[in-house]
Amino acid sequence: PSTVYLKDYRVPDYLVDSTHLHFELQPKATLVKSQLKIRRNPDAGEGLPPLLLDGVELELLSVSIDGQLVPASRYRELPEGLSIPVDKPAFVLEIHNRINPEDNTSLEGLYLSNGMYCTQCEAEGFRKITYYPDRPDVMSKFTTTIVAPRQYPVLLSNGNEIERGATEDGRQFVTWEDPFAKPAYLFALVGGDLQHVEDSYTTSSGRKVKLQIFTEAKNIGKCDHAMRSLKKAMRWDEAVYGREYDLDIFMVVAVDHFNMGAMENKGLNIFNSACVLASPETATDSSFQRIESIVGHEYFHNWSGNRVTCRDWFQLSLKEGFTVFRDAEFSADMNSRAVKRIEDVSMLRTAQFAEDAGPMSHPVRPDSYMEISNFYTLTVYEKGAEVVRMIHTLLGTEGFRKGSDLYFERHDGQAVTCEDFVVAMEDANGVDLTQFRRWYSQAGTPVLEVTDAYDEVNGNYALTVKQSCPPTPGQEEKLPFHIPLAIGLLGADGGDLPLDTSGTRQVVLQVTEAEQTFNFSGLLEKPLPSLLRGFSAPVKVRYGYSTEQLLFLMRNDADEFNRWDAGQRLAFMALEQLQQAYRREETLKLQPQLVEAYRSVLQNRDLDPALVAKMLALPSEQTLAEEAEKIDAEAIIAARRFARAALAEALKGDLLACYQRLHTDKPYSPEAADIAERSLKNACLAYLCVTEEDDALALAQVQFDSAANMTDSAAALSALVNHGDTASADAALESFYQRWQQDTQVVELWFGLQSSSAKRGTLENVRALMQHPAFELKNPNKVRAVIGGFANRNFTQFHRVDGSGFKFVAEQTIALDKLNPQIAARLVLPITRWKKYGGDLGEKMKTALQSVMDSGKLSADLYEVVSKSLV
Ligand code: HT7
Ligand code: ZN
């Protein structure tokens, strides 16, 4: 596969003013007719170069220009496209081709999912439908006619329905027209036997929008939460960004086979069923919250992505980073802000930091790629969102809004760059973000070494910040970043000290140099710094906090995020000591201060219960692995297991009291306050079961037997699966499956609970799950639940010292690559980080990775990841 470089970007030679598509749906031979009004791009230079169209796995039937058939000898079929000679600056091109949705297991282009036709065109899937200039800077007005037999009564595409009727041979047709010009990646088509729920939304300017969610009949009772979330998102975007919806209809369709979470096609969002369908009986609280955020995310793309789109795929973070920032703020406003931030930062620190330090490390705006699908990454999405958040922090809420207003106004209907976004922010606020731009071009996670000095004679406090950034592939040296560092200074009474004469108690320091000292005067006591409040930048902060100082921050910091973070640092230090003791074969002992800190958190009734649940959770094994210089999996597992057991034993009285207080028979509601209480209650249950005591396991059994919602049921099942005797776990798993076997989303949860269990998810059991009738290698959700659950969420079994876990992932990757390259390229990721492991385990991981490389011809997707990771 060849490499595409950002520096090689050229404007398109030809533009497409209108696109008329005509589909005759058939499982193995869908006929596609496209009529494109093409004209020479005046910005592209002189002459009439050949028209180059992208096309992959298409059966070409005919090419006509202005109604005249072009003989096959005149055009050239290329390995991935078509080259057509051009002799006039404007013409109508008509192409007929055939495609095979039934055999399309890549889930890009047009495919069948459980008998439903659907499309996925981002990033480069449209070229699997017909020949087209499949690039985001070619924007066209689409009209789409779908013809299908009557067993597919619902036929949908983008925009408004303008006509429907019957064909002479008894099939039906529907025509859709999208009034907004769009790139091909936003095209969508759906055909199936679907039901829908309907509602409406009146925009602030008084326009009534029809809202419809389509799904198979059996899931029609699972659409209410998504509908409520959609209406909340529409209201929020009006209130916070002044953005209204622009069509008269907004449709959402749920499909079972989908490579990602959802897709923001104009007016016709397509969702992975797992990211839209929920009912209290079948979905957990985290699934409810995930749905709210993804429904918001896709809706927000209507402005940040569709009305203003990307010039090229290197600019992906322009829409994704901005939209993740928007959805995170939406979720924070709908739920607990601190808890949302903790969840996002935990994920960033664990998985994005690991990506940034690994072989596929790339900037938020990559410079090159072989396969763009590999760059739908945590760096582009989550770090990209942090970059937008930092702009928000630097400009303030009002300044950011002025910037986003200017951005949308200036670029509505255009395909633009990250640079255009930053320039709009600068122009609207009269600021200079020149140095800040390095966040888009430099990869790697910056590290801040912070030291301080207090002069009690003159009350001066000096905070010195040294920044550095480790080398990443192709970037040995980094220039200093512009880092907004939010801080507060705590006095002995735990309150924030005034930082200047105006009494400000929190400041955002502008860190721009490799080393910089910030001075604060008039301080009557030596303060304790609370650094990087709210995680104001995606960096690592090193400061030599003592145990006492962390305990103090945990109790007193005005910033809830930093209270949690102090607890994490404390736990991390304790786990580090345990790992060392384990390696030295010493008796393990947990710091008593940590136990007491957890006890007081547990007893603190003033804190949000969801925050308490987060504060009680030890850093995950993956987080510990990310922080380590070299990963010692065995020591990490032993240390964490010991600490958890010691905490459970020491705190069992408090855990039980808290569990009993929160375990009420209140009816289920997905409101934030109720979710918070359930999260703490179930965190207590999980800890109690770590003791393996009969009383605790009996609580789990009773909760499992009587639960009236999936959150409680799944939490109890998880406790039984991970603790206690195998017979009870077997019985619980079996009864759960018997009850829910017809429900796809619950079965996925059931798979995931087992494959990610240290106790249950042994390699033998995971292989057995793959033989289960409900498992399907062609369905990414099943692969993510079973194989992904094992490789990404079962640290213990995946790291078995014989390397069998790595070998298994390699085998499955090879098998999957034949069906779905995008998913194969993601599945392989856990075995690409072999360099971070010392000794034998690292060697075994590398051997497994090499076996993928040596297995024969790989897809471009998989080849890129494996070849870059073997260097
Ligand atoms: N913008 C959407 C991206 C997407 C995608 C990309 C590659 C392959 C399959 C895909 N499905 C959806 C999702 C989003 O960020 O909203
Ligand atoms: Zn997105």
Which pairing describes strands 507-511 and 368-369: parallel, antiparallel, or unpaired? unpaired
Q: Name, in order, each residue with C-beta under 8 angstroms of 23's C-beta and a sequence gap of 6 or more.
A: 30, 31, 32, 110, 144, 145, 146, 147, 148, 189
Domain 555-870 in the same topology as domain 447-543: no
d(CA 556, CA 151) in angstroms, rounded, equals 64
d(CA 325, CA 646) in angstroms, rounded, equals 38
Query: In b/e form, how buried is each residue of 481-499, taking b as 16+ CB within 10 angstroms?
Result: bbbbbbbbbbbeeeebbeb
Sheet architecture: strand order including 208-215: 195-202, 208-215, 249-255, 268-272, 262-263
| Beta bridge mates, 488 | 530
CA of 172 from ligand 1 middle (Å) equals 31
pLDDT at residue number 839? 87
Residue with tokens 């095209």: 187
Q: Name, in order, each residue with C-beta under 8 angstroms of 799's C-beta and a sequence gap of 6 or more.
A: 633, 634, 637, 805, 841
Of 298, 320, 329, 343, which one is the catalytic site residue?
298
d(CA 613, CA 174) in angstroms, rounded, equals 51
Residue nearest to atom 5 of ligand 1 (CA): 122
The pLDDT averaged over each successive group of 10 residues in the chain (871 residues) is 97 98 98 98 97 98 98 97 98 98 98 98 99 99 98 98 97 98 99 98 98 98 98 99 98 98 99 98 98 99 99 99 99 97 98 97 98 98 99 98 99 99 99 98 98 97 98 97 98 96 94 98 96 98 98 98 98 98 98 97 96 98 96 98 98 98 93 96 98 98 98 98 96 98 98 98 98 98 98 98 98 98 98 94 98 98 98 94
DSSP-based three-state secondary structure for 594: helix
Q: Name, in order, each residue with C-beta under 8 angstroms of 727's C-beta and a sequence gap of 6 or more.
A: none
Residue nearest to atom 12 of ligand 1 (CA): 263
What is the torsional sign of CA 851, 857, 861, 864? positive
User: Within 10 Å of residue 591's Cβ, how many Cβ atoms?
Assistant: 18
Query: In b/e form, how buried is each residue of 180-190, taking b as 16+ CB within 10 angstroms?
Result: bbbbbbbbbbb
> Within 13 A of 380's CA, how many CA atoms are on the CB side?
20
Token pair for 463? 């905070």
CA of 36 from ligand 1 middle (Å) equals 26
Query: Class for domain 447-543, per CATH?
Result: mainly beta
Token pair for 118? 């659907």
CA of 299 from ligand 2 middle (Å) equals 9
Superfamily designation of domain 555-870 = Peptidase M1, alanyl aminopeptidase, C-terminal domain (1.25.50.10)
Tell me if 848 sits within 8 A of 831, measured CB to CB.
yes
Token pair for 40? 């020479």
d(CA 67, CA 432) in angstroms, rounded, equals 54
DSSP-based three-state secondary structure for 266: coil
Sheet architecture: strand order including 109-113: 109-113, 116-120, 189-192, 154-157
Angle between helices 337-347 and 316-334 (to 10 degrees): 140
Asked if CATH classification 3.40.50.1370 holds for the domain at 309-441, the reply, yes or no, is no
DSSP-based three-state secondary structure for 29: coil
| 298 given a catalytic annotation | yes
User: Within 10 Å of residue 513's Cβ, how many Cβ atoms?
Assistant: 12
Q: Name, in order, each residue with C-beta under 8 angstroms of 424's C-beta and a sequence gap of 6 or more.
A: 403, 404, 406, 407, 410, 411
Sheet architecture: strand order including 76-78: 51-54, 81-84, 76-78
| Beta bridge mates, 487 | 507
ipTM score for this prediction: 0.99
First CA to last CA distance, the chain: 17
Which residues are near ligand 1 (CB < 6 Å)?
120, 122-123, 259-260, 262-264, 297-298, 301, 320, 373, 376, 822
Tell me if 298 sits within 8 A of 350, measured CB to CB.
no
How distant, in Å, are the alpha carbons of 130, 144, 146, 185, 699 from that of 125? 10, 17, 18, 7, 50
d(CA 414, CA 375) in angstroms, rounded, equals 22
Residue nearest to atom 11 of ligand 1 (CA): 260
Which pairing describes strands 249-255 and 268-272: parallel, antiparallel, or unpaired? parallel
Token pair for 530? 């609370």
Tell me if 769 sits within 8 A of 786, measured CB to CB.
yes
Token pair for 339? 């808890």
Q: Give the distance, in angstroms, between the CA of residue 252 and the centroid of all CA atoms in the same chain.
A: 19
pLDDT at residue number 838? 80
Probe target for ligand 1 pocket from 128, 318, 324, 376, with the most ligand atoms within 8 Å of CB: 376
To the nearest 10°, report the CA torsion of 197, 202, 207, 211: -20
CA of 16 from ligand 2 middle (Å) equals 25
Amino acid at 844: K
Element (H, E) at 567: helix 560-583
Token pair for 256? 């079972």
Probe target for ligand 1 pocket from 111, 263, 372, 379, with the most ligand atoms within 8 Å of CB: 263
Quick one: DSSP state of residue 859?
P
CA of 704 from ligand 2 middle (Å) equals 36
CATH number of 4-193: 2.60.40.1730
d(CA 352, CA 348) in angstroms, rounded, equals 5
Token pair for 15? 């533009």
pLDDT at residue number 52? 98
Output Rg (C-alpha) for the chain, integer angstroms: 28
Tell me if 300 sits within 8 A of 274, measured CB to CB.
no
d(CA 668, CA 21) in angstroms, rounded, equals 47
Quick one: DSSP state of residue 664?
-
Token pair for 787? 């194989």
What are the sequence ranges of the domains in the chain?
A: 4-193, 309-441, 447-543, 555-870
Among residues 749, 724, 723, the alpha carbon closest in space to that of 736 is found at 749
Element (H, E) at 297: helix 285-300
> In ligand 1, which atom is closest to the CA atom of 297?
16
d(CA 481, CA 483) in angstroms, rounded, equals 6
As a three-state string, the secondary structure of 720-783 is HHHCCCHHHHHHHHHHHHHHHCCCHHHHHHHHHHHHCCCCCCCHHHHHHHHCCCCCCCCCHHHH
d(CA 119, CA 189) in angstroms, rounded, equals 6
DSSP-based three-state secondary structure for 508: strand
Amino acid at 752: G
Residue nearest to atom 15 of ligand 1 (CA): 320
> Within 13 A of 572's CA, how many CA atoms are on the CB side?
19
SS3 content of the chain, % helix, strand, coil (to 5): 45, 20, 35
Quick one: DSSP state of residue 204?
T
DSSP-based three-state secondary structure for 24: strand
Q: Name, in order, each residue with C-beta under 8 angstroms of 423's C-beta and a sequence gap of 6 or more.
A: none
pTM of the model: 0.98
Residue nearest to atom 1 of ligand 1 (CA): 263
> Within 13 A of 370's CA, how many CA atoms are on the CB side?
16
Q: Name, in order, each residue with C-beta under 8 angstroms of 544's C-beta and a sequence gap of 6 or more.
A: 451
pLDDT at residue number 501? 87
> In ligand 1, which atom is closest to the CA atom of 305?
1
d(CA 584, CA 588) in angstroms, rounded, equals 10
User: Within 10 Å of residue 833's Cβ, how many Cβ atoms?
Assistant: 21
Among residues 121, 138, 127, 54, the alpha carbon closest in space to that of 309 is found at 138
Which pairing describes strands 268-272 and 262-263: parallel, antiparallel, or unpaired? antiparallel
Tell me if 685 sits within 8 A of 724, measured CB to CB.
no
Closest ligand to the CA of 385: 2
CA of 645 from ligand 2 middle (Å) equals 40
Closest ligand to the CA of 319: 2
